[in-house]
């Protein structure tokens, strides 16, 4: 059965550029003087961001960069990130974004994979990458321009940045702002605009290729109809802008209505969030479950009110029901859990303000359709019954064209109008969706498939458990049993007695075959740069000797 909301779908003209939709229209509406971005160094209006973006677009064209050429952004969150994003698409080129905290060697892979013509990079990061560029060979054959952005003062005694290899121009951001200015190129709504990288659950991220209209479509459906994004909102995020989740909620969505976004360069912390919410009167916080957990763990004497917030968003990984209840009790702010993906740009199933159903990911976002499909061996499967677990299929006009250089993966995931996820779901009679994990995460215990999320949700209710992840391990008899990795709450000693207490607690709430065989205590769960628990890392971890 396909579920959908019967509303008119957003439509866009054939000639359409996302920079015009998100930025230029604010100027035409007379909002050029409105504050658009607050970062660590200042405050910037919509007109200021537009001017910076158009100077960059002019510099790109001056360097011979043309429509559909890829440009790679390697910046921490700052006004220049916003201007670079819009400047690239204004030029008709294609944005790709990379985490600036990756190991140096990872960038060579991104340079080669994207074949980028321009690299816009933080100066401190460029100092690390310069030696790599001189030995990168074919990985930088296409690179013609590097733009350096200073987001923090250089260390005392630091030398000038090393010149790049011959044939690659090096410009500072100040140089760019003194250069030519170019308006928005008349792209098609179906021209490539942005590559969004998957979270790399297989260990190798790949790029989902998106059109210009994809971002406006989800904005019209999710940001405006579900979040109710409005001009007086002030947005703040835990994840950084290179991650499509934050690209939407902390850049594109506020820009679509003339709101403000708060950007900061450093890593988040509970104290940093408390301070930013209070200082800027933030109304919409983009979070992940790990952040909510750490905010609850913060020293009570250092906690601050989150009263300015009207809502907190959660995505990227499942939000345990117990964590939701703890957070709501502590701070009085609703969390809207939802699910999105790089393949569909952003969230397509979400809870609503005042209608949150704890433990559920909510209902379909207007403009999206879904199937929960039980594999029957056929190409299209059959629709699961209410309450029956199956694979989630989603359809909506923000779906990616393909994965770059991954034809077989594209055929497997992008089937006609449908995006076939690897996520297992069930839904109830009222149209609420519930996440049951990924197919490759399911545990077969006692001959019965068990979702680790169910086990984790039960153990998380123990007062001493801050975070938990459950994987399977083979015992001496060759049988698969559950192994729970537990991050204990502060003040609780991670010893055999605590492990036995947690296991006994699990036995009181779970069927016997679902209870983990062992507990191992860890200081933190391994996570990807997008915040997802890396279960494969836990599977490969040398085993300790906690209670069983």
Residue-level pLDDT at 320: 87
Share the mean pLDDT of the chain.
90
Q: Do both 47 and 118 map to the same domain?
A: yes
Q: What share of the chain is helix, strand, coil (3-state, %, to 5)?
A: 30, 25, 45
Domain assignment present for residue 546? The answer is no
Per-residue pLDDT at 531 exceeds 80: no
* For residues 407-421, average pLDDT: 92
Residues 423, 455, single domain; the answer is no
In which band, very low, low, confident or very high, does the pLDDT at 3 lie, cut at 50, 70 and 90?
Answer: very low
- Cβ neighbour number for residue 118 with a 10 Å cutoff: 30
User: 279-299 b/e with 16+ CB inside 10 Å = b?
Assistant: ebebbbbbbbbbbbbbbbebe
Nearest-angstrom CA–CA distance, 176 and 173: 5
Over residues 408-420, the mean pLDDT reads 92
Q: Does one domain contain both 466 and 426?
A: no
Domain of 463: which CATH number? Answer: 3.30.300.30
Same domain, 387 and 499: no
Q: Are the C-beta atoms of 17 and 215 separated by less than 8 Å?
A: no
Say yes or no: 59 and 151 in one domain. yes
Strand pairing report for 118-122 and 145-149: parallel
pLDDT of residue 189: 98
Quickly list DSSP for 205-258.
--EEEEEHHHHHHHIIIIIIIII---TT-EEEESS-TTSHHHHIIIIIHHHHHT
Is 391 in the same domain as 480?
Answer: no
Mean pLDDT over 200-229 rounds to: 89
- Residue 2 reports pLDDT greater than 50: no
Residue 207 lies in a domain: no
Averaged pLDDT for residues 223-247: 97
Count up the domains in the chain and report the number.
3
Q: What is the pLDDT of residues 324-380, one digit of tens each?
A: 999 999 999 999 999 999 999 999 999 999 999 999 999 999 999 999 998 776 778
CA–CA dist 241, 90 (Å, integer): 18
Residue 68: inside a domain: yes
Q: Which of 28-37, 421-430, 510-519 has the lowest mean pLDDT?
A: 510-519
pLDDT tens digits, one per residue of 269-290? 999 999 999 999 999 999 998 8
pLDDT at 299 over 80: no
Residues 62 and 150 in one domain: yes
Residue after which a domain boundary falls, among 197, 228, 243:
197
Provide CB contacts within 8 A for 3, sequence distance 6+: 363, 364, 369, 370, 427, 431
- Which of 406, 422, 438 is where one domain is finished? 438
- The boundaries of the domain holding residue 345 are 268-438
For residues 55 and 186, membership in a common domain is answered with yes
Same domain, residue pair 446 and 434: no
Asked if residue 362 lies in contact with residue 222, where contact means CB atoms within 8 angstroms, the answer is no
**How confident is the model over 438-495, as pLDDT tens digits?**
777 777 675 566 778 888 888 999 999 999 999 888 766 556 788 999 999 988 999 9
């Amino acid at each position: 059965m396909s579920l959908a909301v019967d509303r008119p779908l957003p439509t866009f003209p054939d000639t359409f550029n996302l920079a015009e939709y998100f930025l230029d229209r604010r100027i035409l509406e007379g909002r050029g003087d409105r504050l658009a971005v607050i970062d660590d160094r200042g405050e910037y209006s919509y007109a200021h961001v537009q001017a910076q973006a158009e100077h960059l677009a002019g510099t790109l064209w001056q360097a011979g960069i043309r429509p559909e050429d890829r440009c790679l952004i390697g910046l921490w969150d700052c006004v220049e990130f916003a201007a670079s994003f819009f400047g690239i698409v204004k030029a008709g080129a294609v944005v790709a974004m990379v985490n600036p905290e990756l190991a140096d060697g990872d960038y060579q892979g991104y340079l080669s994979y994207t074949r980028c013509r321009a690299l816009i990079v933080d100066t401190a990061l460029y100092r690390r990458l310069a030696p790599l560029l001189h030995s990168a060979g074919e990985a930088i054959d296409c690179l013609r321009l590097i733009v350096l952005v200073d987001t923090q003062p250089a260390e005392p005694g630091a030398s000038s940045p090393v010149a790049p290899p011959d044939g690659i121009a090096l410009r500072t951001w100040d140089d760019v702002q003194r250069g030519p200015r170019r308006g928005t190129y008349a792209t098609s709504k179906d021209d490539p605009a942005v590559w969004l990288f998957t979270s790399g659950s297989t260990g190798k991220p790949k790029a989902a290729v998106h059109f210009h209209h994809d971002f406006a479509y989800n904005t019209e459906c999710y940001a405006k109809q579900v979040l109710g994004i409005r001009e007086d909102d002030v947005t703040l995020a835990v994840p950084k802008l290179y991650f499509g989740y934050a690209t939407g909620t902390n850049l594109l969505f506020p820009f679509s209505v003339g709101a403000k976004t708060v950007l900061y360069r450093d890593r988040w912390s509970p104290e940093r969030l408390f301070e930013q919410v209070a200082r800027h009167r933030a109304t919409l916080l983009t979070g992940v479950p790990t952040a909510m957990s750490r905010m609850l763990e913060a020293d009570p004497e250092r906690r601050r009110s989150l009263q300015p917030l009207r809502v907190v968003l959660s995505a990227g990984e499942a939000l345990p029901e117990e964590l939701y209840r703890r957070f709501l009790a502590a701070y009085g702010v609703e969390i809207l859990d939802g699910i999105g993906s790089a393949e569909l740009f952003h969230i397509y199933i979400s809870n609503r303000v005042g209608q949150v159903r704890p433990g559920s990911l909510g209902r379909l976002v207007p403009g999206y359709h879904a199937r929960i499909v039980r594999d029957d061996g056929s190409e299209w499967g059959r629709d699961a019954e209410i309450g029956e677990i199956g694979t989630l299929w989603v359809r909506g006009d923000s779906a990616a064209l393909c994965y770059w250089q991954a034809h077989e993966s594209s055929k497997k995931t992008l089937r006609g109008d449908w995006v076939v996820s690897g996520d297992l779901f069930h839904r109830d009679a009222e149209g609420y969706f519930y996440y049951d994990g990924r197919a490759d995460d399911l545990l077969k215990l006692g001959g019965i498939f068990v979702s680790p999320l169910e086990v984790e949700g039960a153990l998380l209710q123990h007062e001493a458990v801050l975070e938990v992840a459950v994987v399977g391990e083979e015992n001496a008899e060759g049988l698969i049993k559950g192994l729970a990795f537990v991050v204990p709450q502060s003040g609780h000693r991670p010893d055999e007695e605590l492990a036995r207490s947690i296991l006994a607690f699990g036995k009181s709430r779970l069927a016997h075959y679902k209870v983990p065989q062992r507990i191992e205590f860890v200081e933190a769960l391994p996570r990807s740069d997008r915040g997802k628990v890396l279960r494969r890392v836990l599977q490969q971890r040398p085993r300790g000797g906690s209670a069983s």
